[in-house]
Chains A and B, each alone.
Chain A
Amino acid sequence: MTFRTCSYEVELTQALKDGHWPQGCGTELRAHVDGCGSCRDLVLVTQAFQGARRESEQLTPASSPSLLWWRAQARRRNAATERVSRPITIAQTFALFVYVLVAVVFAASQYNHGLHWASWWSELAPRAVHFLPDISGKVDLNSFLLISGLGVVALLSGLVVYLASENS
């Protein structure tokens, strides 16, 4: 198939687009179209499509513009909410990271100190049963660190779980 453009194509296209064909066109152009296959195709196809478009303009789409408007607003609101909550999500992720880091450092430091608290723990249980107030005077620094560390981790765990559930 050869690709050959006609020199009248632009003029004819404009005339068809403006609705000037054929009455509003000169005799020269009309005579040319009679003898030019490419231009005849152009007229035939353009008139067929313009007719189809005119038909389609008489049909009203089912969806209501006001419904579309409110749906678009709801979508924009959701997108805005998501945009606003993005920094909070980042902060939550950062908090989780810090929490895990603190927990790991704490566990590593306790391990490096030889896990003294483990032996203290085995002694603590029977004493606690008999007389709890005595404990406060006998715990060493490791024990104190352990208890406070566990408390902080427990608190942070609750916080992280709460933030994660709120985010989801």
Chain B
Amino acid sequence: MRKTDTTGEYAISNLEARVASRTDELPMDSDAFAGFYQRSAPALRAYLVRVSGNAALADDLLQESYLRFLSASRPEGGEVNYRRYLYRIATNLLRDYWRKPRAACIEDVPERLLMARDGLSGIESRATLNPALAQMRPRERQLLWLAHAEGYSHREISEITGLNAAGIRLLLFRARRKIARLLREQTEAVRGNA
């Protein structure tokens, strides 16, 4: 399913290959970066918080994502591709974090953390989406967020996560059915409490 070689490393995607040849220039000037950061950071942080279930970790990974983004050269195609590249960096950082021995693997991160410390506000989200997300696996949360919050296609998610596009379709289908059922249950529970 995962596009990896025997060492477990991701194959270099087209996106990375495009930037690998040009690594000696900063992608943009300071002001342009500040604007790009203001536009992209909240959504990227939300992705990291929702997937990792840990706001402090998400903040660390957010900073590291931008540092790596600035240290590399920008991909072609403007801000749309910058954002996708950022998500790829953030996803790889999450994966590296989960691979470390002190943390569990991506399938076993304690989901209760998501409910306790997501750092995000919003009555509706807290009432239904967060408890539902808390019962999903991190990989499912990752795919659902990229597909439904960010609106990425299967091919784009494949580039970001390194997973096979055909596998993503099946995983997303299952994850969507699961979270839809949980959302309905949560909605009913909230109405019941009210």
Contact = CB atoms under 8 A, between A and B. Distances in A.
Interface of A: 1, 3, 5, 17, 38, 40-42, 44-46, 48-53, 55-63, 65-66, 68-69, 71-73, 75-76, 79
Given A49-B129, A53-B46, A55-B121, A41 B26 contact: no
B63 A63 contact: yes
B95 interface: no
Given A62-B59, A65-B37, A51 B129 contact: yes
B104 interface: no
A80 to B, nearest CB: 9
Tell me the dominant secondary structure on chain B's binding face: helix
Interface string B139-176: 00000110011110000000000000000011001101
A44 B129 CA distance: 11
Interface residues of B, number: 45
B59 A49 contact: no
Given A53-B149, A55-B121, A42 B176 contact: yes
Given A45-B180, A51-B125, A75-B71, A3 B34 contact: no
B51 interface: no
A6 to B, nearest CB: 10
B190 to A, nearest CB: 13
B94 interface: no
A72 B148 contact: no
A55 B37 CA distance: 17
A155 B144 CA distance: 67
Contacts of B128: 48
B62 interface: yes
